[in-house]
Amino acid sequence: MSAIAARRRTLPGFGLTMGLTLTWLSVIILIPLAGLFLKSLELSLEQFWAILSSRRTLNALRISFGLAFGAACVNLVMGSIIVWALVRYRFPGRRIFDAIVDVPFALPTAVAGVALTALFAEKGWLGAPLAALGIKVAFTPLGIFVAMIFIGIPFVVRTVQPVLQDLDPEIEEAAGSLGASRWQTMIRVILPSLAPALLTGLALAFARAVGEYGSVIFIAGNLPNVSEIAPLLIVIRLSEFRYADATAIAAVMLVVSFIVIFAVNRLQRWAQHRDAER
């Protein structure tokens, strides 16, 4: 194996570039992350557990994970609708809306945060009509939810869009000619074909929303146990010099991130395997 690989290396620079890559990767990414895990290992199991099971920590984790999952689900549904409209239909402004999907990705999170807050504040453009209906968004958990939806939209759209574009038109025609209604074709043929991409988009949107900080903290209200997200609690613990607490929460969040990455990798491999050689 390695002998064959070595012979295939006709181009120069493998040793040098690989060495530099691994060194740089270690210095910037791996050593700092390892430092975090080492730090969390300094805690005894009881300490670790005491930190995580404190009411405030538990609530912060519950708020972050719960709302992030909810927002990712909204993104899954709305993202699919947006992808369908962008790929399948022609309407005025389609290309502009296609480009606009990336705004949450490109807009600095602090800017998104202040803008969403002003928009949904009680006197804001959307906040005022919503307040008239008795719905309060800014400075409530609902505000966190809105910010997380904002931040996750491009992830679902950009993972599903290319797959829908490449979907073989013949499979829809085949389903139709076999007597399936449009709805049956949608549920039984198109949806399963998009499933790996949909789940990948869901996972990516979820991962992003869980860790999101900038766009959330302005609109959240940051009331402990009610609207305080886990990343904010890390920052608060740091400013109180309670490094152990910050590290423990961060470790839990990192582990979840790794699980999501692993899941996404598996999903991609599954999709590749299933769709191989058509």
Only segment of 49-57, 128-136, 137-145, 171-179 that touches other proteins (CB under 8 A): 171-179
The reply to whether 67 sits near other proteins by the rule CB under 8 A is no
Do 254 and 36 touch, CB atoms closer than 8 A? yes
Query: How far apart (Å, rounded) are the C-alpha atoms in residues 112 and 39?
Result: 33
Question: For residue 105, which of 162, 154, 158 has the smallest C-alpha distance?
Answer: 154
Q: Which residue's CB is nearer to other proteins, number 51 or number 207?
A: 207
3 binds other proteins (CB under 8 A): no
| In contact, 218 and 113? CB cutoff 8 Å | yes
Query: How many residues lie near other proteins (CB under 8 A)?
Result: 113
- Per CB under 8 A, the segment of 25-33, 47-55, 135-143, 220-228 that binds other proteins is 25-33
Interface with other proteins (CB under 8 A), residue from 127, 141, 221, 231: 231
Token representation of residue 237: 């613990």
Closest alpha carbon to 80 in 21, 159, 3, 177: 159
Q: Which two tokens stand for residue 227?
A: 């609207």
Does residue 58 bind other proteins (CB under 8 A)?
no
Query: According to CB under 8 A, which residues from 89 to 118 bind other proteins?
Result: 89, 91, 93, 97, 99-104, 106-116, 118
Closest CA to 140 of 26, 234, 220, 46: 220
Out of 126, 130, 164, 263, the residue judged to bind other proteins by CB under 8 A: 126
Contact flag: residue 130 with other proteins (CB under 8 A): no
> What's the distance, Cα to Cα, between the start and end of the chain in Å?
29
CB of 226 to other proteins, least distance (A): 20
Show the DSSP H helices in 167-242 as ranges: 169-177, 182-185, 191-211, 214-220, 230-239
Q: Of the ranges 51-59, 78-86, 131-139, 220-228, which one interacts with other proteins (CB under 8 A)?
A: 78-86
Task: Please report where in the chains the tokens 């992030």 appear, as a residue.
Answer: 68
Q: Is 255 in the site for other proteins (CB under 8 A)?
A: no
Q: Assess 135 for contact with other proteins (CB under 8 A).
A: no
Smallest distance from other proteins to CB 49, Å: 20
Query: Six-digit token pair at 57?
Result: 């920590």
Residue 254 contacts by C-beta under 8 Å, 6 or more apart in sequence? 33, 36, 37
Q: Is residue 119 a contact residue for other proteins (CB under 8 A)? A: yes
* Residues in 181-200 that interact with other proteins by CB under 8 A: 181-182, 184, 188-189, 192-193, 195
18 binds other proteins (CB under 8 A): yes
Instruction: Confirm or reject binding of residue 131 to other proteins (CB under 8 A).
Output: no
Give the tokens for residue 101: 């999907």
Closer CB to other proteins, 14 or 49, in the complex: 14
